[in-house]
């Protein structure tokens, strides 16, 4: 039953050559291929939407059957984590506010200034190899290819394709994902029991749904000195000038995650005028730059091309990884990516490779936030 | 219009669109041991069994290309591998004078496992890293077994897609006379 009038072997060879040609064109970023994807998407979208509606009950039934026990255990685990993190959140607020003030003084963009669009995840990856999700917001809401996607935990990925009302997100663990990052060693935290002359903060967290209450004593950052020049130059001195953050002025309602039934009480510090956090510039964390790259679903993402500068010293396991920003980076500075879990030393000049555990759990995403950010090199946001 | 619908390429697209919709919605969510089942691959191989190596290659190319158009991986990668899988299934089919259902299931399973293994290798050749991993064995086994089960459904669909009449189906495949 011939389909082509040409000979069979020629037809098969033609199909193979066409495939190879398409691969070559796509890898080179040919605009015709991009256009082809756009046209196909327009045709396919109604079919896919109908299928989504029809198969949703089946999907829900399947999830109900297979994931019930797992969900129950996860819910319990998450509740425990939430209780623990209430205390850590208060400490983070002080640091975040401090950082924002410093960034503003130095004229550096920070995440709080960037508009964002919240989107729901409506589809997973249809392949066993590429890591993508589909979200329900598109170019109608200002989304563009390349914009970073985050959730409450940190970096999720970037927009890789946009339609009017939906988009495709390439997840950070996909092997095609890469972004410049900064690796910051954790500061040396002094245990809370250590007494300092300037700081003493006690946070009490109690949950109305239970009869017990938990008291968390926050770790205290060692005492320290810093002077910030209003002209944008930061200098280090040995003087006793201090940067002070007063928690009593922080608007917790605006910054806290939405929780129900939880009361957070901040006890006044022992120092007059409220609790005080001070930073010692000598103890500031080590910062190095490199390129973060996903390596597929099975392998931990890595940070490569670490700038091994003797001034900065060695990166340690547990170091935090943030996006570094820059005029050409697709993400602004300061998005949390993850933590270093392993350091693989390499011989020669190639430097170490850092394996990273992402803070965002990419296997169970429901809602994400798209930052309406585009690097300076490609146009204003 | 009817003439157009009766053309194999038109029918392949008509079958491919809802199959792809299922792949990107239902099968993207319902995973077996964390593995996404591959209905487009099953259809490509089934086309080879139903219509011989040439039709298998054509169907694999069309289904693979459609799949590529919704993925972020290079366009043409699945088309190449699925086309080869369809061609291979048709070639294996030509070696047997009869094609009982269990044999179809066996061929679909074997070719699915092979294609699942070859896809990341080809991807690696063209510079897409991270697809070859220890998880590949699990993916191969799950896709092979699931597609073997799918074969009872997809082989008849592939016959319709390629507009193969009963008389043609019962005749020995053309490859026998090569």
A contacts of B64 (beta carbons < 8 Å)? 19
- In total, the C-beta contacts within 8 angstroms joining chain A to chain B are 175
Maximum average pLDDT range among A17-31, A208-222, A263-277: A17-31
Provide the pLDDT confidence category of residue A244 given band limits of 50, 70 and 90.
Answer: very low
Task: Give the integer Cα–Cα distance in Å for A198 and A141.
Answer: 48
pLDDT mean over A221-247: 38
A57: closest CA among B156, B30, B15? Answer: B30
Residue bearing the bigger pLDDT, A252 or B61: B61
Provide the pLDDT confidence category of residue B73 given band limits of 50, 70 and 90.
Answer: confident
Strands across the sheet containing A262-267 = A213-217, A202-207, A262-267
Asked whether the beta carbons of residue B130 and residue A125 sit closer than 8 angstroms, the reply is: no
**Chain B: residue nearest A124 by CA?**
B28
A250: closest CA among A223, A271, A225, A275? Answer: A275
Burial class for A231, CB neighbours closer than 10 Å (0-12, 13-18, 19+): exposed
Q: What is the pLDDT of residue B77?
A: 94
DSSP symbol at A185: P
- Which stretch of A194-203, A283-292, A349-358 has the lowest confidence by average pLDDT? A194-203
DSSP H helical ranges for chain B: 2-6, 8-24, 26-29, 39-70, 77-94, 101-125, 135-161, 166-170
Three-state SS letters, A69-138: HHHHHHHHHHHHHHHHHHHHHHHHHHHHHHHHHHHHHCCCCCHHHCCEEEEEEEECCCCCCCCEEEECCC
C-alpha torsion sign, points B16, A175, A27, A373: positive
Task: Tell me the shortest Cα–Cα distance from A186 to chain B, in angstroms.
Answer: 29
B contacts of A3 (beta carbons < 8 Å)? 8-9, 54-55, 58
Going by C-beta distance under 8 Å and a sequence separation of 6 or more, which residues neighbour residue B29? A59, A62, A63, A123, A124
A contacts of B38 (beta carbons < 8 Å)? 128
Q: Which stretch of DSSP H or E encloses residue A25? A: helix A8-27
Task: Tell me the shortest Cα–Cα distance from A358 to chain B, in angstroms.
Answer: 17
Q: Is A354 helix (H, G, I), strand (E, B) or coil?
A: strand
Task: Tell me the shortest Cα–Cα distance from A124 to chain B, in angstroms.
Answer: 5
A169: closest CA among A143, A134, A145? Answer: A134
Q: What is the pLDDT of residue B176?
A: 53
Task: Give the integer Cα–Cα distance in Å for A95 and A275.
Answer: 13
Asked whether the beta carbons of residue B26 and residue A55 sit closer than 8 angstroms, the reply is: yes
Task: Give the integer Cα–Cα distance in Å for B178 and B175.
Answer: 5
pLDDT tens for A23-62 read: 999 988 888 888 888 899 889 989 999 999 999 888 888 8
Residue bearing the bigger pLDDT, A8 or A338: A338
Asked whether the beta carbons of residue A11 and residue B69 sit closer than 8 angstroms, the reply is: no
Q: What is the pLDDT of residue A255?
A: 39
- Which stretch of A128-142, A240-254, A274-288 has the lowest confidence by average pLDDT? A240-254
| Phi and psi at residue A370, to the nearest 5° | -100, 120
Of B73, B83, B120, the CB nearest to A19: B83
| C-alpha separations of B144 from A18, B41, B106 in Å | 27, 10, 9
pLDDT mean over A215-236: 38
Three-state SS letters, A228-276: ECCCCCEECCCCCCCCCCCHHHCCHHHHCCCCCCEEEEEECCCCCCCCC
Both tokens of residue B36?
């996404």
B contacts of A174 (beta carbons < 8 Å)? 72, 130
Of B72, B126, B135, the CB nearest to A176: B72
Asked whether the beta carbons of residue A20 and residue B80 sit closer than 8 angstroms, the reply is: yes
Asked whether the beta carbons of residue A19 and residue B57 sit closer than 8 angstroms, the reply is: no
Asked whether the beta carbons of residue A44 and residue B70 sit closer than 8 angstroms, the reply is: yes
Both tokens of residue A282?
């000598």
DSSP symbol at B174: G
Task: Give the integer Cα–Cα distance in Å for B42 and B162.
Answer: 15
Q: What is the pLDDT of residue A198?
A: 37
**ipTM of this predicted structure:** 0.85
Task: Give the integer Cα–Cα distance in Å for A55 and A33.
Answer: 30
Going by C-beta distance under 8 Å and a sequence separation of 6 or more, which residues neighbour residue A334? A99, A110, A111, A322, A323, A325
Residue A5 clears pLDDT 80, i.e. is over it: no
B contacts of A301 (beta carbons < 8 Å)? none
Q: What is the pLDDT of residue B117?
A: 95
Tell me if A301 sits within 8 A of A292, measured CB to CB.
Answer: yes
Both tokens of residue A343?
């350091």
Task: Give the integer Cα–Cα distance in Å for A136 and A159.
Answer: 12
Tell me if A321 sits within 8 A of A294, measured CB to CB.
Answer: no
Tell me if A217 sits within 8 A of A272, measured CB to CB.
Answer: no
A contacts of B75 (beta carbons < 8 Å)? 22-23, 25-26, 33, 36-37
pLDDT mean over A255-275: 35
pLDDT mean over A335-359: 83
Q: What is the pLDDT of residue A30?
A: 86
A contacts of B69 (beta carbons < 8 Å)? 36-37, 40-41, 44
| Phi and psi at residue A366, to the nearest 5° | -115, -50
| C-alpha separations of A358 from A31, A131, A171, A293, A339 in Å | 33, 14, 11, 11, 7
Provide the pLDDT confidence category of residue B169 given band limits of 50, 70 and 90.
Answer: low
The whole-angstrom distance between residue A239's C-alpha and the CA centroid of its chain comes to 37
Q: What is the pLDDT of residue A251?
A: 44
First to last CA, chain A: 57
Q: Report helix, strand and coil shares of chain A as percent, to nearest 5.
A: 30, 25, 45
Task: Tell me the shortest Cα–Cα distance from A290 to chain B, in angstroms.
Answer: 19
Task: Give the integer Cα–Cα distance in Å for B139 and B133.
Answer: 10
Asked whether the beta carbons of residue A20 and residue B55 sit closer than 8 angstroms, the reply is: no
Task: Tell me the shortest Cα–Cα distance from A183 to chain B, in angstroms.
Answer: 23
Output A245-248 pairs: Cβ under 8 A, ≥24 positions apart. A245/A94, A245/A97, A245/A98, A245/A276, A245/A277, A246/A273, A246/A274, A246/A275, A246/A276, A247/A90, A247/A93, A247/A94, A247/A201, A247/A274, A247/A275, A248/A274
């Amino acid at each position: 039953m011939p389909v082509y009038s040409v000979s069979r072997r020629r037809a098969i060879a033609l199909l193979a050559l066409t495939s190879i040609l398409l691969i070559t064109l796509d890898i080179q970023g040919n605009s015709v291929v991009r256009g082809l994807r756009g046209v196909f998407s327009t045709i396919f979208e109604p079919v896919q939407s109908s299928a989504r509606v029809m198969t949703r009950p089946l999907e829900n039934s399947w999830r109900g059957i297979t994931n019930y026990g797992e969900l129950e255990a996860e819910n319990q685990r998450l509740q425990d984590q939430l209780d623990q993190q209430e205390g850590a959140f208060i400490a983070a607020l002080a640091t975040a506010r401090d950082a924002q003030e410093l960034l503003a003084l130095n004229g550096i963009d920070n995440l709080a200034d960037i508009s964002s669009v919240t989107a729901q995840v409506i589809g997973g990856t249809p392949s066993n190899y590429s890591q993508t999700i589909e979200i329900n917001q598109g170019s109608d809401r200002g989304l563009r290819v390349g914009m970073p996607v985050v959730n409450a935990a940190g970096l999720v990925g970037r927009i890789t394709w946009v339609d009017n009302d939906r988009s495709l997100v390439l997840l950070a663990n996909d092997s095609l994902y890469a972004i410049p990052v900064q690796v910051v060693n954790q500061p040396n935290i002094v245990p809370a029991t250590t007494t300092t002359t300037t700081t003493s903060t006690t946070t009490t967290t109690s949950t109305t749904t239970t009869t017990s209450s938990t008291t968390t004593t926050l770790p205290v950052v060692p005492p320290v000195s810093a002077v910030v020049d209003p002209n944008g130059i930061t200098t280090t001195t040995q003087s006793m000038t201090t940067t002070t953050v007063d928690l009593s002025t922080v608007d917790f309602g605006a910054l806290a995650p939405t929780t129900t039934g939880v009361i957070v009480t901040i006890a006044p510090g022992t120092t007059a005028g409220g609790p005080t956090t001070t930073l010692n510039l000598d103890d500031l964390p080590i910062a190095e730059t490199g390129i973060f790259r996903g390596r597929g679903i099975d392998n931990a993402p890595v940070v490569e091309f670490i700038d091994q500068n003797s001034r900065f010293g060695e990166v340690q396991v547990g170091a935090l990884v943030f996006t570094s920003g820059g005029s050409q980076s697709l993400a602004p500075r300061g998005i949390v990516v993850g933590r270093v879990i392993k350091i693989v030393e390499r011989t020669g000049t190639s430097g170490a490779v850092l394996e990273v555990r992402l803070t965002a759990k990419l296997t169970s995403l429901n809602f994400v936030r798209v930052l309406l950010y585009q690097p300076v090199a490609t146009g204003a946001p | 219009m009817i003439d157009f619908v009766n053309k194999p390429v038109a029918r392949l697209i008509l079958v491919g669109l809802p199959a792809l919709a299922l792949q990107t919605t239902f099968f993207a969510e319902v995973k077996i041991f964390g593995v996404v089942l591959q209905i487009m691959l099953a259809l490509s191989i089934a086309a080879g069994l139903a219509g011989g190596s040439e039709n298998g290659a054509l169907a694999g190319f069309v289904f693979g290309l459609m799949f590529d158009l919704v993925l972020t991986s290079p366009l043409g990668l699945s088309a190449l591998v699925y086309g080869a899988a369809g061609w291979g299934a048709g070639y294996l089919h030509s070696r047997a004078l009869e094609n009982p259902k269990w044999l179809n299931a066996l061929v679909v399973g074997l070719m699915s496992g092979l294609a699942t293994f070859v896809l990341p290798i080809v991807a690696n050749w063209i510079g897409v890293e991270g697809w070859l991993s220890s998880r590949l064995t699990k993916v191969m086994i799950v896709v092979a077994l699931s597609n073997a089960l799918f074969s009872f459904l997809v082989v008849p669909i592939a016959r319709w897609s390629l507009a193969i009449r009963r008389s043609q189906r019962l005749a020995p495949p053309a490859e026998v006379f090569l």
